[in-house]
Amino acid sequence: MAAVDVSPGAAFGSAFGLGGRAAQLRTRLAGRLKLGLHVTLTRYGLCRDLAEPLQTPKAKIPIVVRRLEERDLAPLFTLAPDKASLEEQLEVAWRRAFIEKGAQRGYVAIDARNGTPCYVQWLFGAVDNEFDEHVGGFPVLERHQALLENAYTPPAYRGLGIMSEAMALIAGHAAWISAREVLTFVDQYNVASLKGCQRAGFYPRLLHHRTRFAFGTITHDSFEDLPAGDPRRTARF
């Protein structure tokens, strides 16, 4: 089965049909309205040095990691109708849009007991800088750097330590694109994700400040290195 390095739009066109696409547009519109006239956010940029030894954390269920395939999309991104919060719908809509924009090199964790996809995340290298610039909100990667983005565990699989193990394993694949260090960005208030990253060997290295105006139509991003000795570099989440 082919990995989902698909042309934009192809995957969800077939996996969700027109009804799914219309629902996604409605959700994204609601997300834009929620942004309002002016909003600021701060994300930690966390880094893992692949040369540093790491004991891979173990999830509470057996998982295996492989490349994302088209057949994974429906089980990963189908929410129970009328039960999911707007925040959850936005998480899914954002990832669907991310694939439609042409995101490459997605990875999934699979529940080894029954073959269900239970985690997804994308790995980028310097070769993907043009795509990252198009999506916005990421620094330009140097050749020795990789970026892990858009981690998502479907609600039914949360709290089982899947993120920590899967992310540690997927980060290891960055060596295949010649990276020595891996970055990832997490909102300062997303404790579950910050904890998952830290257990996967990532530590705060920089801050990403984002300001959005006029319902997210105008965006300004800036990146700030955390100075050596800054207590946030060694914070435990």
User: Would you tell me which residues interact with ligand COA (CB under 6 A)?
Assistant: 91, 151-153, 158-164, 186, 190-193, 195-196, 199
Write phi, then psi, for 171 (nearest 5 degrees): -60, -35
Backbone angle region of 74, left / alpha / beta, with phi > 0 → left and psi within -120 to 50 → alpha: alpha
Closest to 33 measured CA to CA, from 44, 41, 25: 25
Q: Which is nearer to ligand COA, 10 or 169 (CB)?
A: 169
In whole angstroms, how far apart are CA 112 and each of 4, 74, 217? 20, 18, 42
Tell me if 103 sits within 8 A of 147, measured CB to CB. no
CB of residue 7 vs ligand COA: minimum separation in angstroms?
25
Work out the end-to-end distance of the chain between its first and last CA atoms, rounded to an integer number of angstroms: 39
In the bound complex, what is the minimum distance in angstroms from residue 61's beta carbon to ligand COA? Answer: 10
* Rounded Cα–Cα distance for residues 32 and 34 (Å): 5
Shortest distance (Å) from residue 122 CB to ligand COA: 11
Taking the least distance from each CB to ligand COA, the nearer of 145 and 164 is 164
Rounded CA gap, 147 and 77, in Å?
Answer: 22
Least separation in angstroms between CB 154 and ligand COA: 7
Nearer of residues 171 and 186 to ligand COA, judged by Cβ: 186
Q: Which is nearer to ligand COA, 12 or 44 (CB)?
A: 44
Residue 65 CB, shortest distance to ligand COA, in Å, is 13
Q: What is the DSSP letter of 160?
A: S
Q: Which is nearer to ligand COA, 128 or 165 (CB)?
A: 165
- What number of residues does the chain have? 237
Nearer to ligand COA, 12 or 202 (CB): 202
Least separation in angstroms between residue 186's CB and ligand COA is: 4
